[in-house]
Homo-oligomer: A and B are copies of this chain.
């Protein structure tokens, strides 16, 4: 987080700076012990492309992984102008909880760049990060985007590698403009 805090504090976050890689394949969470009205409330996971999500709920999710806060109006604008937004939800009966998020910028044609991949700490280690990424890749492929890119923190490079992402193919370097230089 140091780099991001020093450079882009409150303005931008790379792909999952505090995201802990998860293993295995995403699957519905098993029924809990909650019993309401004599019925077992079964939890399931679903994905949504709706970008009109509650931004305070998204802020709560990002807070949970320690990201720098960003102004709500800016987040709203960024979501409006993202090519795709994929959120991940836990559903228990009529109760929904935002547990994961990802988005991509794109020219709608050739290139896409995935940003802001996050899974709530309570739901890490269950393969849900992988499931979320597979979902956004599927959506980008469906839109016939061939060049899917991202910027990965060192501790998640292997997580993304397992999903089919190559670091620095043929020596191509991800570079970030640093305002203090100029």
Number of copies: 2
Inter-chain contacts of A23 with B (CB < 8 A): none
The interface size bin for chain A is 35 or more
Q: Are B181 and A176 in contact (CB under 8 A)?
A: no
Interface residues of A in 85-123 (CB under 8 A from B): 103, 105-113, 115
User: How far apart are the CA atoms of A84 and B177 in the complex, in Å?
Assistant: 17
Binds B, one of A26-34, A37-45, A158-166: A158-166
A48 at the binding interface (Cβ < 8 Å) = no
A22 within 8 A of B: no
A125 to B154: give the CA distance in the assembly, Å: 36
- Give A residues with C-beta under 8 Å from B: 2-3, 7-8, 11-14, 70, 74-75, 77-83, 103, 105-113, 115, 137, 141, 146-154, 157, 160-161, 163-179, 181-182
